[in-house]
Amino acid sequence: MDQSRRNMLKLGGAALAMIPVVAIAAKNDAMRASMKYKDTPEGDKNCANCVQFVPGKTATDLGGCKIFPGDTEVSPKGYCVAWAKKG
């Protein structure tokens, strides 16, 4: 394989790797509305201590929720009516 083709493949791989990061940042507005999601906790109840929460990179990053398909902007300090204590 010549050098330019190798570089092109490398660049292609890097570009592909970057797409999902941009493309998956999204909110599932329909589920948020039906579950009355809010970005603030309800007393001691918050997404970070909910069994459905899928944490982001760090404890304070936005994450996901198993019952909000495609939503990547769930706050660890958020809350919704489907909250269930993490075991």
Judged by CB under 6 A, does residue 82 bind ligand SF4? yes
Binds ligand SF4 by CB under 6 A, chosen from 28, 53, 62, 73 = 53
Alpha carbons within 13 angstroms on the beta-carbon side of residue 16 total: 6
x-or-dash string of contact with ligand SF4, 12-51, rule CB under 6 A = -----------------------x-x---------x--x-
How many Å apart are CA 15 and CA 20, to the nearest integer? 10
At 62, which helix (H) or strand (E)?
A: none
Closest of 80, 12, 19 to residue 48, by C-alpha = 80
In this structure, are residues 37 and 8 in contact, taking their beta carbons and an 8 Å threshold? no
Output 10 or 36, the one with its CB closest to ligand SF4: 36
Q: How far is the CB of 28 from ligand SF4 (least distance, A)?
A: 10
**For binding to ligand SF4 (CB under 6 A), which residues are involved?**
35, 37, 47, 50, 52-53, 65, 67, 74, 78-80, 82-83
